[in-house]
């Protein structure tokens, strides 16, 4: 059985990697699909192509994982790819309300099931937005993102002038 792990992945974090690795043990194949989140419009650091490139590098060691991108509705993607299972990670209760709403909406719109994987508590405080903020000030993110993300963040912020 195959599943889709959709998200913004701007960039992928160790929390995403934890959920993805565990999903890849459960499902025969997992497609990580980089999508637009309307709530984050205008707040992206990496464009879609950059995010896909980071994901491809970060997931190279996972043989049953592939990377894709789609600009429309998740349910349309699921239908086009003939998939019916969405994987999403939950870090804390605060994620639940939003995830519950989109899981119900996606099932209503596209007859797809959402399977939740609880992110390891070790990563429960990690989010892409926090990672971007830390990296923008030259902070150390190597522990909380895969190497591919850390490298891309260093390159992105290499020329930024920071206050003393
Ligand atoms: O990593 P994120 O930002 O929490 O992922 C959210 C994402 C991209 C999966 C969600 O915004 C999404 O499914 N976007 C595609 C457009 C869509 O289907 N929106 C309706 C969701 S009810």
Residue 136, token pair as written in the block:
């923008």
Determine which residue's CA is closest to atom 14 belonging to ligand 1.
37
Instruction: Give CA torsion, residues 32, 126, 116, 37, to 10 deg.
Output: -60
Q: For a pLDDT cut of 70, what percent of the chain falls above it? A: 97
d(CA 86, CA 83): 8
Q: Could you read off the pLDDT of 48-96 as tens digits, one per residue?
A: 999 999 999 999 999 999 999 999 999 999 999 999 999 999 998 888 9
Its pTM stands at 0.95
Q: How distant is the alpha carbon of residue 44 from its chain centre?
A: 13
Residue among 15, 73, 79, 109 to mutate when testing ligand 1 (max atoms within 8 A of CB):
73
Pocket of ligand 1 (CB under 6 A): 6-8, 35-37, 40, 73-74, 102, 105-106
Determine which residue's CA is closest to atom 9 belonging to ligand 1.
7
Match 């889709």 to its residue by tokens.
Answer: 4
Task: Answer whether residue 163 shows pLDDT above 90.
Answer: no
């Amino acid at each position: 059985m195959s599943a889709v792990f959709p998200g913004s992945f701007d960039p992928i974090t160790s929390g995403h990697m934890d959920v993805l690795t565990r999903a890849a043990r459960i499902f025969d194949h997992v497609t990580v699909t980089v999508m637009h989140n309307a709530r984050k419009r205008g707040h992206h650091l990496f464009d879609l192509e950059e995010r896909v490139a980071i994901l491809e590098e970060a997931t190279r060691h996972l043989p049953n994982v592939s990377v894709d991108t789609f600009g429309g509705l998740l349910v349309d993607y699921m239908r086009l790819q003939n998939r019916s299972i969405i994987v999403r990670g939950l870090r804390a209760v605060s994620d639940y309300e939003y995830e519950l709403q989109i899981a119900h909406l996606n099932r209503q719109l596209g007859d797809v099931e959402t399977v939740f994987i609880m992110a390891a508590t070790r990563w429960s405080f990690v989010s892409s937005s926090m990672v971007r903020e830390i990296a923008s000030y030259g902070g150390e993110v190597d522990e909380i993102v895969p190497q591919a993300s850390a490298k891309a963040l260093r390159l992105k912020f290499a020329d930024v002038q920071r206050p003393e």
